[in-house]
Amino acid sequence: MAEKLVVEPDLGFIKEMAGLGGDTLKKCFQCATCSVVCPIAPETQPFPRKEMIAASWGLKDKLVGDMDIWLCHNCGDCTTMCPRGAKPGEVLGAIRSYAIQDYAAPKAVGKMVNNPKMLPILFLIPSILFLIVGFAYKAAGINWLNFSPGGEIIAHYKFFNTWLVDSIFVPTMLGMNLILAYGVYRFICDIHKNALAAGKVEDKPFDPKDLVTSLINVVVRIMRHDKFSECGENKERATAHMMVLFGFIGLFVVTGTVFIGLYVFGVHGPLSQINPLKWIGNIGGLMLIIGSLLMVKNRLTKTDQTSSYQDWYLIGMVFMLGFSGMLTQMTRLAGGEGVTYVVYFIHLQLVWMFIAFLPYTKIAHLVYRTAAMVYADYMGRGFK
């Protein structure tokens, strides 16, 4: 006797998909045009048709742990060619947003971060945190918070001492990495189990050398944005994404180098404007601003592209990080002591929000997509 399979649709999941940008899901009538036109779907069991079927049935567990939703780069070809306007690329984007929230813990924080009504509160959290820690140090007789710095040289560490800032940011960074690592671990376990069950891959013994090779292959693809270049409808997205990616890489290099220079070699800022690190930082900041503005332009001109709150939160955060960072430097160089310290305080809040809430926002897709691509390459799933 054939085995009976009981399907239990999760109607709540389907409803949440609509709120995350997948509101066109029910227009799909399974013609498979999306899988045929996708330029990067694997030859065997291509996406996104099978994901559209699972989404229509509300099969949350099957989709959240599906590596193929991450192999999709939302190039837009399937959405443009869909005869029913079901927008498969947007549906897979909604599933990815849901998966990020599902894997991040605690879930209550994820719901708060992704609720637009909570944005003012999210912004207040780092403000209160910085002031509490600053006044606590000041009460202990340590002058790490100074509202009237003065002096011949305007330097932001005179307002918020570097030790004060790092005593907040280092634990925040460690906590964020632990939460993200836990989520990615669960994610890898799920996609491995689901891929084996679906027959997408065959089990193989662990080989560290092959894993490193796959990681290198994927990093090179990401740096070159190979898959974005294969898109027919949204090739211009590659430029904006690359600018933001390399902007963050440049700023990460500068921050790490300055951190080591301060605590290992005792070299304090502010850096000279002719310092190579300053140039890298300035270029990185400009790339964030320009890249995010290009993203806004692309979304406004692509009328068939759905933009959820998660999309705008990420774009807005990237722009504000770049803009507030550049404005902090410009007001300091212009001699606006009071103004530059206020802008610096706002910039610190934005940076803290970006780091602390990263596991719950769309920026986490960089980690999850990289993990899925490495797994696919390692297990031989591959692309077209």
Taking only the tens place, the pLDDT of each residue in 119-136 is 999 999 999 998 888 888
* Chain centroid to CA 28: 28
Q: Which residues contact 194 (CB under 8 A, 6 or more apart)?
A: 62, 65, 66, 67
Grade residue 1 by pLDDT with cuts at 50, 70 and 90. very low
Q: Which residues contact 122 (CB under 8 A, 6 or more apart)?
A: 112, 113, 353, 357
CB 262 within 8 A of CB 296: no
Q: Compare 247 and 304 and report the one with higher pLDDT.
A: 247
CB 384 within 8 A of CB 75: no
Q: Compare 347 and 146 and report the one with higher pLDDT.
A: 347
Q: With CA atoms as reference, report the closest residue to 288 among 335, 264, 261, 254.
A: 254
pTM score, two decimals? 0.91
Q: Is the pLDDT of residue 250 over 90?
A: yes
Average pLDDT over residues 97-116: 93
Q: Tell me the fold of 11-103.
A: Fumarate Reductase Iron-sulfur Protein; Chain B, domain 2 (1.10.1060)
CB 48 within 8 A of CB 79: no
Which contiguous run of DSSP H or E holds residue 180?
helix 162-198
Q: Which two tokens stand for residue 201?
A: 């891959």
What pLDDT score was predicted for residue 170? Answer: 94
- Least confident segment among 42-56, 147-161, 360-374: 147-161
Query: Taking all residues of the chain, what is their mean pLDDT, rounded to a whole number?
Result: 89
**Percentage of the residues of the chain whose pLDDT score is greater than 70:** 94
Domain(s) labelled CATH 1.10.1060.10 in the chain stretch across 11-103
Cα–Cα dist 76/305, whole Å: 8
Q: Is the pLDDT of residue 294 over 90?
A: yes
Q: Phi first, then psi: give them for residue 205, nearest 5 degrees.
A: -65, 150
What pLDDT score was predicted for residue 148? Answer: 63
**Percentage of the residues of the chain whose pLDDT score is greater than 90:** 59
